[in-house]
A and B are shown apart, each in its own frame.
Chain A
Amino acid sequence: AQSVTQPDIHITVSEGASLELRCNYSYGATPYLFWYVQSPGQGLQLLLKYFSGDTLVQGIKGFEAEFKRSQSSFNLRKPSVHWSDAAEYFCAVGDRGGNKLVFGAGTILRVKS
C-alpha cells in the first residue's frame, strides 16, 4: 500500500533563510508525487508535481523539489522564505492510474521575522 511520511510536524525558519521540508514515500513503482500548500481555513493549492523526466522540478512561489528514487524521497526546498509562506505543507503520492492521492500528515511552517 502507498504511504507518505513527513517526519517534521513543525518547522520554524527565519524570514530570508532557506527551507527544506522532508517527504518519504512508499510505493511499488514510480509514483506521481505532489506538494500541496494549505493556508489556515483554505483549500489545497498545488505547488508542484513530478511525473517523469527531470528529477528536479520547479513550482510556483519559488519552490522546487527533487525526486530521489534511491532514497524514496521528494523533499521540498525554497532558497529564501517569505513570511507569506507560513502555512501547512502536504506531500502526496498518486498512482499512475490517476486515482486517489495518499497524503502525508503535513508539516506546519512558521516563519519568524
Chain B
Amino acid sequence: EPEVTQTPSHQVTQMGQEVILRCVPISNHLYFYWYRQILGQKVEFLVSFYNNEISEKSEIFDDQFSVERPDGSNFTLKIRSTKLEDSAMYFCASNVQGLEQYFGPGTRLTVT
C-alpha cells in the first residue's frame, strides 16, 4: 500500500540554524500539507500546497517558514532560523482533492 514517507525521523538543531524537513507524498496525490504537533498538544495545520503554490496557510506559518516541491516527488518544509518554540513533531500529509489525508510518520524536530 502506498504511503507518505518523511526524512529524517529526528532532527536536532541549534537555535538560529536553518532546517529542511523532507516528505515524499503518495505518487498520484496532488495536494500536500504540513502540520505540527508540539509535545502534549493538538495537531495544528501549517500550510497546504497545490499546483506549485500555497493554497492556504495558518498564522503559525510566518516568514520563517517556506515550502517547496523541488522535483516530481519531494515536498519540503524549510524553517529559516529556528527558535526553541519550533521544537515539535512535523507531519506531512497528502491527498486527492476533497478526500482523506494520508499522514507520514513525522519528523521530530528538537531545537536546542
Contacts and interface: CB of A to CB of B under 8 A. Distances in A.
Q: How large is the interface on B (under 10, 10 to 19, 20 to 34, 35 or more residues)?
A: 20 to 34
B100 A99 contact: no
Interface of A: 32, 34, 36, 42-46, 49, 90, 92, 94, 96-106
B44 A103 contact: yes
Interface in B82-99: 91, 93, 95, 97-99
A43 B48 contact: no
A106 B105 CA distance: 17
A68 to B, nearest CB: 21
A46 B102 contact: yes
Contacts of B93: 101
A98 B42 CA distance: 20
Contacts of B45: 100-102
B103 A100 contact: no
28 contacts: A34-B100, A36-B103, A43-B91, A43-B104, A43-B105, A43-B106, A44-B91, A46-B100, A46-B101, A46-B102, A46-B103, A49-B100, A90-B42, A92-B43, A94-B101, A97-B98, A98-B98, A98-B99, A99-B31, A99-B56, A100-B33, A100-B45, A100-B56, A101-B101, A103-B42, A103-B43, A105-B41, A106-B42
Nearest to A100: B45
